[in-house]
Amino acid sequence: MDIAEQLSIEEQGLKQQLHDTWCAGNYSSVARTLEPSALQFLARHPVRAGAMVLDVACGSGQVALPAARAGAKVWGIDIAGNLIEEARGHAEQEGLAARFEVGDAESLPYGDNSFDQIYSVIGAMFAPRPERVVAELTRVCRPGGEIVMANWTPEGFVGHFFKTVARHVPPPPMPSPLMWGTESRVRERFAERPVDLHFDRQLFEFRYPYTPEEVVGFYRQNFGPVVRAFAALDAAGQAALHADLVQLWRDYNLADDGTTHTQGEVLEIVAVPQ
């Protein structure tokens, strides 16, 4: 039985909503701005040469492709087919040992104990059923392997970004993805799994060569959740959301030269199955 048959009508509708959200705009252009931080993440949690590596909710490959360049055998999976096609194109151009496919973090199409290392950087945290994500990540990771995640925290800039959007457009009916950035909640989610857990907090950098107002325009055009939020509002609602987002970027801007620089806090999680 495939996942579509297992889900209720309501759950299928939610899955479709999430799919449409992450296919909207051009997320890879947003992800590229975070590539330096993604590479720093990989430096903190290095890929083992020759390892079997899975990148869950891989987007267009900002983690999977560097992992393949480091000598790993890489699989990447994401619900957004447009991003998977882009990742495949990059892998083919470079001749990398990386395979990308459309799929669901809650129903991974791989056998038990298939991977030495599993990564999910600002990805699987957006799946609607976290208990299924935990079950699948621990199922496909070999004992003694690593499950490594980086998730936005509720307290950081990105947490406030999503809360700002949610004040104007109700979020989908699912647990807040930001709970993946809370250590106590992550411990609860892995509590019934035989894993050793380790946590660290790091900062991802957002740097744009334009003003906060121009940054909001960039996100309005390219970042799926913002694209969809603006599309759901009338003209007055769009103006109000725009003003609040501009103010948020101004409040967190560390630059004073007409550009925009802020930092988003992530909770980095390392789970080692026993």
> Quick one: DSSP state of residue 124?
G
Instruction: Report the alpha-carbon distance of residue 5 to residue 3 in Å, rounded.
Output: 5
pLDDT attached to residue 3 = 45
pTM of the model: 0.94
| Neighbouring C-beta atoms of residue 256, cutoff 10 Å | 7
Instruction: Report the alpha-carbon distance of residue 142 to residue 113 in Å, rounded.
Output: 4
Instruction: Report the alpha-carbon distance of residue 80 to residue 83 in Å, rounded.
Output: 6
| Neighbouring C-beta atoms of residue 89, cutoff 10 Å | 13
pLDDT attached to residue 7 = 58
Helices (H), the chain: 3-6, 9-23, 27-33, 35-44, 64-69, 81-94, 130-140, 157-168, 183-190, 212-222, 224-231, 235-252
Name the nearest CA neighbour of 108 among 149, 80, 78, 74.
78
Name the nearest CA neighbour of 106 among 82, 74, 140, 72.
140
Superfamily of domain 3-152+173-204+264-273: Vaccinia Virus protein VP39 (3.40.50.150)
Domain boundaries, the chain: 3-152+173-204+264-273
Digit-by-digit pLDDT tens for the chain (274 residues) are: 344 445 567 778 898 999 999 999 999 999 999 999 999 999 999 999 899 999 999 999 999 999 999 999 999 999 999 999 999 999 999 999 999 999 999 999 999 999 999 999 999 999 999 999 999 999 999 999 999 999 999 999 999 999 999 999 999 999 999 999 999 999 999 999 999 999 999 999 999 999 999 999 999 999 999 999 999 999 999 999 999 999 999 999 999 999 999 999 999 999 999 9
